[in-house]
Structure 1
Amino acid sequence: MKYKKNLFSVLENIEKKNIEKDTINIKNLYLQKEKYLKQLTLLTDYRNEYLKKLKTKIESGICLYQWINYNNFIFILHCLIKDNETKIKKNKKIIEENLKKWSKHQIKLKTWNYLYKKQKKAAIKQNLLVEDIIFDEFYQLKNFEKGRYYNV
């Protein structure tokens, strides 16, 4: 059996692999986004809790070094929250770019699949045409041999 690889089928397989890679990448990015969102909610809850503690301590009276410590810690939490928000925005942009790339690969896959099927149909027609020609030649040869036997 002759194994013949068609150019369109090779391109189709390449696009399938690209789609698999993009799908895995997008899933990983969504998981990363979820992780950042959980971190963000945890940090904001933590900051709000410390702001409430600071408020009650200030109302009841607080030492200067304690106020500085609370203030520094809340400032650090604020910086971490901002950093986390920028990571989420970057991640969102990357996800959008990967989704666009994934959709382009899907379009290419459909195109290569269509061209492969069209070429396959043309090859089948070509094979049928060759078989018809061979059958016609065989039939003519058979009739020619019959005619030779009758003329003798």
Structure 2
Amino acid sequence: MMHDYDLNVRCLIHGKIAVVDEPTVYYRRFSNPIINLSGKTKWLDMCLSIESKFVLDNYLSLGYDDMKKIFPHLEACNRKEIKFRFLIDACKNKQVRLSSWAFERLVSCLENNKDFFNTNEFDFQYKDYIDLYKINSKNVIGKNHKEKLYNDVKVLIKKMFGLH
């Protein structure tokens, strides 16, 4: 479903762009939204959810100089820190698909570096992680279960990283 979007992102990252003032593509739409590939269906939502992660992963494959060029607000970051800060910023985004992707990648990053909170090179504290967790759980978890899950995850993460 997102092959055009993926191609556009890759072209913007790796190529030069130009504007063509005339139509180059025709798009056919049916009156029945179920028939349209871009119609609002559960299948489309599932495809977009899965495929958007692959497209967003393109940003994590960027080199340091490209990251600074595309995301100028990260210019002060060093080579080791820039992708980590990018994920933190994306976790705070209001678009649920983007913030969920970023939080999932951040969790993977922390899981792969069990000593992260002890070495703490990036001045990112455990409380900062919990704050991001709260932001990302509000759209996913029902209000009644949120507090219990929050406390369970807090205990689990403390055990995982050897924090007491």
TM-score bracket, shorter-length normalisation: under 0.3
TM-score after normalising by structure 1 = 0.27
TM-score after normalising by structure 2 = 0.26
Of Structure 1 and Structure 2, the greater helix share is in: 1
Highest CA radius of gyration, 1 or 2?
1
Using CA pairs below 8 Å that are at least 6 residues apart, which structure has the higher relative contact order? Answer: 1
